Amino acid sequence: MARKKKETEERIENFIQEQVITDTLRLNYMPYAMSVIVSRAIPEIDGFKPSHRKLLYTMYLMNLLKGERTKSSNVVGQTMKLNPHGDAAIYETMVRLTEGNGALLLPFVDSKGNFGKQYSRDMAYAAPRYTEVKLAKVCAEIFRDIDKDTVDFVDNFDGTMKEPTLLPTTFPNILVNPNLGIAVGMASSICSFNLSEVCDAAMAYLKDENANMGDYLKGPDFSTGGQVVYDEKEFQKIYETGRGGFKLRAKYRFDEKHNCIEIYEIPYSTNIETIIDKVIQLVKTGKIKEVTDIRDETDLNGLKIAIDVKKSTNVELLMNKLYTLTPLSDNFSCNFNVLIDGTPMTLGIKGILHYWTEFRLNSIRRQLRFDQQKKAEKKHLLEGLAKILLDIDKAIHIIRHTELESMVVPNLMEGFGIDEVQAEYIADMKLRNINQEYILKRLEEMETLEKELADIEATLKSEAKLRGVITKQLKQVQKDYGAERKTEIIQPEEIVSLSKEEMIEDYGIKVFLSRDNYFKKITLQSLRFAGEHKMKEEDEILWEEECTNRSDILFFSDQFNLYKCRAHELAETKTSALGDYLPNLLGMEAEEKIIYMTTTLDYSGSMLFVFENGKAAKVSLSSYATKANRKKLVNAYSNKSPLVFALKMDEEQDIVLLRNYDKATLIHTELIPLNASKSSQGVQVFKLTKNSKVTKAYRAEDFQSEDREYYRGSKIPSSGHYIREKDKTDNQLPAQINLLD
């Protein structure tokens, strides 16, 4: 056993070898990365990835361009001769190319059956045994003259058949259909454009390479419709560099009879389920209150998301909120990364049209040379026939008097001075064709061939004529397959942009703070039918204030801190609940307590602080407004003396200060100067004797007295007046504090 163990360890030691990581990356990772880039994820100048090309070419070989539809499983099986990645991957590729799925602006596969939908995440496509397909008519332009040596062919993966490296598409398909691909270290994201507009742009480029593409391409066009926001500068950048982004928006209509918003076109980059999930989330979190129900009503007539709303809803405002908060408005990022002769390039519109034009010029030259060769070969045969026609009886005589069949061709060659190919053609002629009519037609055909060959030669020598051929084909494609735009173009000015405040639903609320620091946010509507507050034993409501859902709530603590919250960010509750415990909600320090709460919409007004040492500070509330929306501010008020009283003031008012519960003074806050610093100690407002302090302060209307003016001080600091016994009783004041005890 010990020997076997030792042998095993030695084998493992010999198997494990140290490698330099850069060598491993170069030998293993880089070939994989290049394979994904070149052979899988990035489209080429014909607008196809290899998987698309293999599938469509297989269907072409199956005669599905003109024939009847066949089961998808049949096509998938045949495609595996070119694409060995498995039937599931092949069928998924086919689904995207079908008219039924709706992913392409110009579908290549005519389909029958359920192929799911581009705009639905959960609508699954049927199995291939249930669906049928054939090539769409436009594929005639994709495969135009492919049998005339227009493109290169290579062996398939096992060398049993040939497949094209590119398809000779007669229009810039790379721009007509959307193409998304993620390779290793790079990606491609090409939006689709309207076929007619692309043809116009291509023809303009063929005529003048300096033409402005923006004059012909109005903007992207998607199969799912919707709206594209046309930012001229951004699109100019996209057209020139191939990089950038733009915004897509859904289209809706309002059914007044049923009080329902109907979304009938959505951005290409999203789907129904994602939109519905997001709206439901917004309703659950209380950010959207106008929606009562949302459902998917998509049917055979097309996409529809129905949103039921409350009767009083401002539909336009609600939709602007939904555009901002949901994928009903989405961004499409462009990265026009295309493979050119095996090299990835990020190109603008002109760059793509340049390489596509070079590709088409080369394809047309190859097609013309192919035709030239075939016509020349036929002309050569007819030239031999013309020589025979000079003495047809001699030809018949040679054939009749030749003893061996193998000598017919040599004897004809010798008798008329023609070559073997011509002699074979003549020898294979039918006896019925040796008549005057047939011979005259062949001679006329030779004249036609001579003219055609001259035209081909002239075209091959003139690039202008070659470009004319491309233009003619583009015009025919535009005429046969051009269609109206599906995606509407709108200007940025047409979009209502909502501020953050407008995004927040505005309705009345009331906020409550208890002595034990429990907080409640309750809607005014809920308060109408509410019972008594649920509280902990011996707890009580200290502060309550009516405000709106857009208000900021300010909490001042006994540790000189200010905590700020947006009302809309806090959960709504009811009087029957304890509420939120502020130390947990605000992240307060240990033993810290909130001693004052107030609300504000615009940080107007001021804060008044009264301290034990008889000083008072008046600080502008705007001092607590922060651009960064900080949640906590330290040194929110002076820490030099304990705080007795805090009050938010929208206007100047009278306040009453008590000293040791024996003296009181009533002063007008206008006498207190406004300070810029939050931590200001303030000014002396109450004259204090040794060992005395301010023990309490009130708003004037909260101090019960038949003659408040008795306590008024005309200037500060004020000496105050002794509190009358009746006022002590009415205000439930304790006996005077003896600070000497």
pLDDT tens digits for range 81-96? 998 888 999 999 999 9
Percentage of the chain modeled with pLDDT above 90: 59
Judge whether residue 25 has pLDDT over 70: no
* Domains of the chain (ranges, CATH numbers): 48-168 (3.90.199.10), 251-327 (3.30.1360.40), 353-481 (1.10.268.10), 500-730 (2.120.10.90)
Phi/psi at 228 (nearest 5 deg)? Answer: -115, 130
pLDDT of residue 741: 36
The more confidently predicted of residues 349 and 433 is 349
Strand order in the sheet with 227-229: 179-182, 187-190, 329-335, 243-249, 227-229, 488-490
Confidence of residue 381 (pLDDT cuts 50, 70, 90): confident
The more confidently predicted of residues 739 and 685 is 685
Q: What's the residue count for the chain? A: 741
Cβ neighbours around 323 below 10 Å, total: 20
The whole-angstrom separation of Cα 204 and Cα 217 is: 11
Judge whether residue 15 has pLDDT over 70: no
Q: Are 251 and 323 in contact (CB under 8 A)?
A: no
Which of these ranges, 57-61, 293-297, 433-437, 570-574, has the smallest mean pLDDT?
A: 433-437
Pairing of strands 227-229, 488-490: parallel
3 state DSSP class of 374: helix
pLDDT of residue 589: 87
Judge whether residue 29 has pLDDT over 80: no
When pLDDT is averaged across residues 239-249 and rounded to a whole number, the result is: 95
The whole-angstrom separation of Cα 39 and Cα 52 is: 11
The more confidently predicted of residues 465 and 550 is 465
Catalytic residue positions, numbered: 130
Confidence of residue 520 (pLDDT cuts 50, 70, 90): very high
Q: Are 668 and 733 in contact (CB under 8 A)?
A: no
Angle of CA points 368, 373, 376, to nearest 5°: 120
pLDDT of residue 525: 83
Judge whether residue 5 has pLDDT over 70: no
pLDDT of residue 30: 64
Judge whether residue 389 has pLDDT over 60: yes
Judge whether residue 12 has pLDDT over 70: no
pLDDT tens digits for range 145-182? 999 999 999 999 899 999 999 999 999 999 999 988 77
Judge whether residue 443 has pLDDT over 70: yes
Q: What is the mean pLDDT of the chain?
A: 89
pLDDT tens digits for range 266-286? 999 999 999 999 999 999 887
Closest CA to 55 of 101, 9, 103, 97: 97
Q: Which tokens in the block code for residue 425?
A: 């053609």
Judge whether residue 327 has pLDDT over 60: yes
pLDDT tens digits for range 678-695? 888 899 999 988 888 999
Judge whether residue 6 has pLDDT over 80: no
The more confidently predicted of residues 235 and 731 is 235
pLDDT of residue 738: 54
pLDDT tens digits for range 471-498? 999 999 999 999 999 999 999 988 877 7
When pLDDT is averaged across residues 549-559 and rounded to a whole number, the result is: 91
Percentage of the chain modeled with pLDDT above 70: 94
Closest CA to 486 of 218, 272, 255, 116: 218
Judge whether residue 740 has pLDDT over 60: no
pLDDT of residue 17: 67
The answer, as to whether pTM is greater than 0.95, is no
pLDDT of residue 689: 85
